[in-house]
């Protein structure tokens, strides 16, 4: 084998080693929760059969699977409608949360007056607001989106505000020493430093967005997974209720791990991706 062949094969061997490590790491993360899930499903099925629990009370996983297959077109269409509500509301809640955090930090006097009002508004029971939004905006997309924004913007605002305010004072002093204005410090130091905190807030917000969409559909809707759950409950179709709940859970997982992937791509310097920090 010539030296040129050896030089060509060495990078390929390194690349194969990297992929093997990534596959092993992915397997180590996926296999334990998958094994636990399968064990829970098996125990659930066994308990239902041994105790002879009625399907009207708690269906077996096999019954849920049958309902999922039989009602698949309806569940797929309802999932699409709910996913649009979740995505639209989540994006708007992220924009509102970031805007609130930047306003409070950039304009300190106004921020000191705004912050207690934001906290006070967050304490209002959101379930009570859902019928009001239905009354104001009708039964279409708008009331669900507004309810999601009201529910989900707060963790985004709080986490980003915490990130903006937790910059090392030495960094800010250094920027001021070279004549940087307040907006430049905010743009070049505070915002990049706050991004890991923002991603943490977005993860909480996306799960709250799922809840907000279902609550909004409970309050008044003619389509969506929340509507399917209510309809199936009224018809005592417990298998369909659990099938719709499974679809909601899958939607929530998909949105959550989309944010997780975005964090890995956009904030690779976060301490959670540092091997020394994880060890």
Residue 62 has pLDDT above 70, yes or no: yes
Lowest mean per-residue pLDDT among 3-7, 61-65, 112-116, 252-256: 3-7
How large is the average pLDDT for residues 213-228?
Answer: 86
Instruction: Work out the pLDDT band at 123, boundaries 50, 70, 90.
Output: confident
Residue 29 has pLDDT above 90, yes or no: no
Class of residue 66 by CB neighbours under 10 A (exposed 0-12, middle 13-18, buried 19+): middle
Domain boundaries, the chain: 1-52, 55-278
Residue 41 has pLDDT above 50, yes or no: yes
Q: Residue 167 — φ and ψ, nearest 5°?
A: -70, 145
Contact between 272 and 278 (Cβ < 8 Å)? yes
Contact between 159 and 200 (Cβ < 8 Å)? yes
Give which of 255, 245, 244 is closest to 207, Cα–Cα: 255
Domain 55-278: assigned CATH number: 1.10.3720.10
pTM, whole model, 2 decimals? 0.80
Residue 202 has pLDDT above 90, yes or no: yes
How large is the average pLDDT for residues 176-190?
Answer: 74
Contact between 209 and 93 (Cβ < 8 Å)? yes
In terms of average pLDDT, the best of 83-97, 193-207, 251-265 is 83-97
**Alpha-carbon distance 147 to 136, whole Å?**
12
63 against 208, higher pLDDT: 208
């Amino acid at each position: 084998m010539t030296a040129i062949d050896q030089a060509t094969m060495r990078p390929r061997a390194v690349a194969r080693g990297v992929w093997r490590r990534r596959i092993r790491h992915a397997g180590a993360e996926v296999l334990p929760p998958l094994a636990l899930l399968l064990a829970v499903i098996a125990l659930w099925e066994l308990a239902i059969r041994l105790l002879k629990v009625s399907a009207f009370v708690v269906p077996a996983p096999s019954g849920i699977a049958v309902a999922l297959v039989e009602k698949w077109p309806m569940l797929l269409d309802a999932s699409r409608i709910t996913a649009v509500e979740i995505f639209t509301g989540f994006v708007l809640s992220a924009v509102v949360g970031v805007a609130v955090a930047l306003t409070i930090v950039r304009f300190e006097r106004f921020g000191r007056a705004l912050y207690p009002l934001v906290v006070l508004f967050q304490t209002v029971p959101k379930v009570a607001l859902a019928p009001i939004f239905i009354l104001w905006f009708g039964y279409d997309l708008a009331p669900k989106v507004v309810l999601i924004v009201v529910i989900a913007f707060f963790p985004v605002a709080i986490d980003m505000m915490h990130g903006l305010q937790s910059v090392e004072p030495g960094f800010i002093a250094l920027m001021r020493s070279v004549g940087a204005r307040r907006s430049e410090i905010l743009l070049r130091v505070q915002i990049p430093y706050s991004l890991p905190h923002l991603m943490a807030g977005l993860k909480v917000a996306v799960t709250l967005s799922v809840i907000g969409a279902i609550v909004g559909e409970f309050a008044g809707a003619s389509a969506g997974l929340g509507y399917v759950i209510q309809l199936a409950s009224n018809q005592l179709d417990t298998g369909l209720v659990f099938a719709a709940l499974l679809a909601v859970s899958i939607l929530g997982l998909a949105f959550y791990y989309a944010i997780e992937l975005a964090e890995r791509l956009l904030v690779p310097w976060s301490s959670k991706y540092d091997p020394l920090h994880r060890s």
